[in-house]
Structure formats: C-alpha cells, structure tokens
Amino acid sequence: MRSPASLASLARAMAAALDAGRAPGPASAGLVLANDRELAALNQRHMGEHGPTDVLSFPMLPPAAFPRHAGQPAEARRVNAVAPRFALPPARRPHIGDVVVSVERAGAQADAGRGGQTGDVRWSVADELRLLVVHGTLHLCGWDHRLPAEESAMRTLERRILERLK
C-alpha cells in the first residue's frame, strides 16, 4: 500500500511519540501500513469488533513498564506494577510493540473532514496518517483514552507532538 506521507515523516512521528511516551531505549517498534480489509480482520480477531478501524496497537509491555502519565488511573499502575526485565543478548533491543494503520481509512477520514481523532478536523491525508501513527504509538507506551482525564491528556500530547513535527 502506497503511503500519502513519506516513510521518513512517519518514522519521525513514531520516534517523537516513543520519546514523548517515555519508552525505554534503545528499543524497537513496528509500523504496518494496511487497508480497511486488513484492519477489519485484525479488529475482529483481536478486539472482537466488527468492521475496520483506523489504527490498532499491539503493545508488548504492560503500562507499568512506562512512567506514570497525566490522566492515567492509579489501577493501571498496580497491574504488573514491576516493569519486566529482559534477558537479552548484548546489542539486542526490546520490542515495544507494533502499530497497524489503515491508509485507506486515514484517507477517507481526511477527505470527509472527519480527522483528528475528534472527527471534526479538516487536514491532509498525510497529516491524518501522522496523527494515527502518533496515537497508536502512544498506546504502545501505556496511554489510553477510556477515561475523560486520560483522553484529554492524550489528545493534548498528540497535538504537542504533531506541532513539533511541523
């Protein structure tokens, strides 16, 4: 699938989100650019939801492996409260996880003026794609948006990261 954003700009977006999410480093993270059909299959298989979505994250570390962040509920810190220790050979990096983005869905959302995670932002497909990469990467770092306080903090951080990328 051809990306409307350069792969370098998507890598910068992912790196900025890993940095902002205070991911341990050096580490690795994967980014898969897919279409709605692929996201629908993953969404059904892993989330039990029917139909495509714009982004899915598959974290390899529990939220407790990352420093506490704004809006995060206390119970998220109690689950697996001790960050895992990896016995890796020298020069090996722990894998933080993978983000899968539907380029097709990003295009549809941007074209319809339903971008920006709030569903009311008009911007380019490339900008929507960068947002989805940032959003999915923050999920890898233990961020979520189930609770209003955490959603507000996550949206604020997403905007700050995207502003720095301009």
pLDDT at 164 over 90: yes
pLDDT at residue 34 greater than cutoff 70: yes
Count how many domains the chain has: 1
pLDDT digits (tens, 9 = 90+) for 116-162: 666 666 778 899 999 999 999 999 999 998 888 989 999 999 999 99
Q: What is the pTM of this model?
A: 0.85
Kindly state whether residue 1 falls inside one of the protein's structural domains.
no
Name the most confidently modeled range: 40-54, 57-71, 85-99.
40-54
What 3-state class would DSSP assign to 152? helix
In a domain, 35, yes or no: yes
Number of helical H runs and strand E runs in the chain: 6, 3
Residue 46 has pLDDT above 80, yes or no: yes
The range of the structural domain enclosing residue 104 comes to 7-80+90-165
CATH number of the domain encompassing residue 160? 3.40.390.30
Assign residue 17 a region: left if phi > 0, alpha if psi is -120 to 50, beta otherwise?
Answer: alpha
**Mean pLDDT estimate for the chain:** 85
Residue 91's pLDDT is 64
